[in-house]
Amino acid sequence: MNIPNHFGDTLAISLSALCSIHCLATPVLLTLVPSLTGLVLLDEGFHRWLVLAVVPCSILSLGLGCRKHQSISVLLYGIIGIVLMLTLLVFDHEVLGETMERAVSLLASLFIAGAHWQNYRLCQQYDCSCD
């Protein structure tokens, strides 16, 4: 049974985008509507759950794709994004500061989304089905 690899890329791009939106929207929402502070989606734990979802999805999808198309740059961009995201799990906003945490989070999301976009495009060329 052949399973298309694009599902993992699409999921990782979506989760990375959700992470970026969460990172950018949380301060604005909390400023505009302070009563949202108890909402689970605005909690720091939500960001951790996103990271824990993106990392395995990225490793699997990029690994399967890169095995077929052999693009080292895709793998490198993905690894940089994953390392940055994992760094955020270790060094949170209390160590990095709010602004640096947001910057690193956005940068990590861009690296991961870019790697998956390139992986998706290359997999269309090289038929990266999971056999």
Q: How far apart are CA 109 and CA 78, in angstroms?
A: 10
Q: Which of 93-97, 99-103, 106-110 comes out lowest in average pLDDT?
A: 93-97
Q: Which of 11-20, 40-49, 121-130 comes out lowest in average pLDDT?
A: 40-49
Mean pLDDT, range 27-50, rounded to an integer: 66
Q: Is residue 39 pLDDT above 70, yes or no?
A: no
Binning pLDDT at 50, 70 and 90, where does residue 1 land?
A: very low
Q: How many of the other CB atoms lie within 10 Å of CB of 26? A: 19
Total number of residues shown for the chain: 131
Mean pLDDT, range 4-33, rounded to an integer: 75
State the number of CA atoms in the 13 A half-sphere of 36 facing the CB: 12
**What's this model's pTM, rounded to 2 decimal places?**
0.78
